[in-house]
Amino acid sequence: MNHRNACLCCAPPTGEGTVRIAAGGKNPLQTAPDAGKGELRLKDFRPRSMLRVPKTHIERPRFPVIDVHAHLTWSKNVRNGVSVGEEITVFATPEALLPTMDRKGVRTLVNLTGGVGKGLEESIRRFDQAAPGRFLTLTEPSFALFPEPDYPLRQADAIGHAKRAGARGLKLLKTLGLYLRERIDEGPLVGVDDRRFDAMWEACAAHDMPVFLHVSDPEAFFLPTDGDNERYEELANHPDWSFYGPAFPGHQELIDARNRMIARHPKTTFVLLHVGNNAENLAAVEDCLARYPNTLVDISARIGELGRQPRIAQRFFDRHQDRILFGTDAVPSPWGDDVPQQLFGDELYEIYYRFLETEDEYFDYAPAPVPPQGRWSIYGLNLPDAVLRKVYHDNAARLLHIPPP
pLDDT for the residue 91? 98
Q: What pLDDT shows up at residue 7?
A: 54
Per-domain residue ranges of the chain: 61-400
Confidence of residue 344 (pLDDT cuts 50, 70, 90): very high
Nearest to 223 by CA among 200, 237, 241, 209: 241
CB contact burial 156-167 (16+ within 10 A = b; e otherwise): bebbeebbebbb
**Angle, vertex CA 255, rays to CA 250 and CA 258, nearest 5:** 130
Stronger pLDDT, 13 or 380, i.e. the higher one? 380
68, 73, 77, 81: CA torsion to nearest 10: 30
Lowest mean pLDDT among 55-69, 264-278, 363-377, 386-400: 363-377
Distance CA 15, CA 28 (A): 18
Pick the CATH number of 61-400 from 3.40.630.30, 3.20.20.140, 3.40.640.10, 3.90.230.10: 3.20.20.140
In the three-class reduction of DSSP (H, G, I as helix; E, B as strand; rest coil), residue 175 is classed as coil
pLDDT tens digits along 371-394: 999 999 999 999 999 999 999 999
pLDDT exceeds 80 at position 68: yes
Using the Cα atoms of residue 352, residue 357, residue 358 and residue 361 in order, give the sign of their dihedral: positive
pTM for the full predicted model: 0.91
Residue-wise pLDDT tens digits, 288-310:
999 999 999 999 999 999 999 99
Q: How confident is the model at residue 135 (pLDDT cuts 50, 70, 90)?
A: very high
Rounded Cα–Cα distance for residues 204 and 271 (Å): 13
Inform me whether the pLDDT recorded for 13 exceeds 90: no
Alpha carbon of 57 to those of 39, 117, 354, 355, 358: distances in Å? 37, 43, 7, 11, 9
